[in-house]
Amino acid sequence: MPSGVTFNAATGVLAGTPAAGTGGTYNITFTAHNGIGSDATQSFTLTVPLVPTAKADAFVLSAFQQYLNRKPTDGQLAQHVGQFKAGGSQRDVQKAIINLPEYANTPPPPASATVGKPLYGL
């Protein structure tokens, strides 16, 4: 089973959220035995989707625009999308972008009076 997912034998509940980077197919078999008659067996496949590359690309592009006011280079895009594929979270990618040396020299985005309505152009 992927990390983050557990099976409680006492209650028969399979629960949890698969951890980042655990995408794939898991063949799982449960066997119940009560000492009377034959065991009961149930097999199934648990599929945990991978982070779609298009979704990861969009997040990285958006984060670069938000934090650095620019698009990433092809190498930076591949590096940070690779973080997702290796199990990194959105927060991990944001931290990596914020830790780039140029972030310290990037002016903050303009303040806004209301959500979605910038102060300039009122």
Span 50-85, pLDDT tens digits: 666 677 888 888 888 888 888 888 888 888 888 877
Q: Exposed (0-12), middle (13-18) or buried (19+): which is 41, by Cβ within 10 Å?
A: exposed
Residue 25 scores a pLDDT above 50: yes
Task: Point out the least confidently predicted range of 72-76, 91-95, 104-108.
Answer: 104-108
| pLDDT score recorded for residue 67 | 82
Q: Quick one: angle between helices 53-68 and 90-98, nearest 10? A: 30
| pLDDT score recorded for residue 119 | 43
Pick 121 or 110 by higher pLDDT. Answer: 110
d(CA 78, CA 119): 35
% of the chain beyond a pLDDT of 90:
6
Cross-strand pairs, 47: 25
| pLDDT score recorded for residue 109 | 54
Range with top average pLDDT, 14-23, 45-54, 64-73, 83-92: 64-73
Pairing of strands 5-8, 24-32: unpaired
**What's the number of CA atoms in the CB half-sphere (13 Å) around residue 7?**
9
Give the helix/strand (H/E) hosting 95: helix 90-98
